[in-house]
Amino acid sequence: MARSYLAEARKRVGPKRERIRPIVERLAREHPDATIALRFRAELELLVSVMLSAQTTDVNVNRVTERLFEKYRRPEDYLAVPVEELEDDIRPTGFFRQKTKSLRGTMRMLIEEFDGKVPRTLEELTRLPGVARKTANVVASELGHTQGIVVDTHVRRLAQRLGLTKHDDPVKIERDLQKIVPREYWGVFPHLLIWHGRRVCLARGPQCESCVLNDLCPSSRV
């Protein structure tokens, strides 16, 4: 299916390198509020929120962290309570035992190797327990040190529908996007695709008739 997207793109809507800037510009006008949906006030809260967001919704994470961040303010706080207590505090986010293990391991490493501060580089961030490349990309980008392009389920779906990649693997998708998306857009591009995916280009029923990209998209039904 992905190959047919690319073939159609070449025939009907032109090369992806020529389409990418109009795609970004139109989405930016359509979704001026496209930013991260997680709520946080500090760098550590950002890191924890993104770690907790795996396999659950941002709304659910925000509901949990509203109380969590009043109780846990420093890396030391996550290590000062019994494991079971932290598990209970994050239980609604799902996979709470593994997330608790990752959080405690991360907090320990922050204290021992990073002076309690959240690192900025992908290499350092991905050394933290439970922090894979997607999480590292989100954290680095939100801290103003964008080094890659976040690929979540929305980004993958829309990048494929738009004929920007033929891959399913997030690392390969990111590599494809980095080749064509101007670097100054690396930080905002995922947010634009995510919000467009939530509002218009839905997984089961894309609203192509009202999509600002329908003439640039090989998958458009218009």
Closest C-alpha among 151, 142, 144, 141 to residue 175: 151
Length of the chain: 222
Is 134 one of the annotated active-site residues of the chain? yes
Catalytic residue among 58, 101, 152, 166: 152
Q: Which of 16, 89, 99, 134 is catalytic?
A: 134
Which residues have a Cβ under 8 Å from the Cβ of 60 and sit 6 or more positions away? 92, 93
Is 11 tagged catalytic?
A: no
Cα–Cα dist 189/111, whole Å: 33
Q: If 0-12 CB within 10 Å is exposed, 13-18 middle and 19+ buried, where does residue 140 land?
A: buried
170-180 vs 16-30: helix crossing angle, rounded to 10: 90
3-state secondary structure of 201: coil
Q: Which residues are catalytic?
A: 134, 152
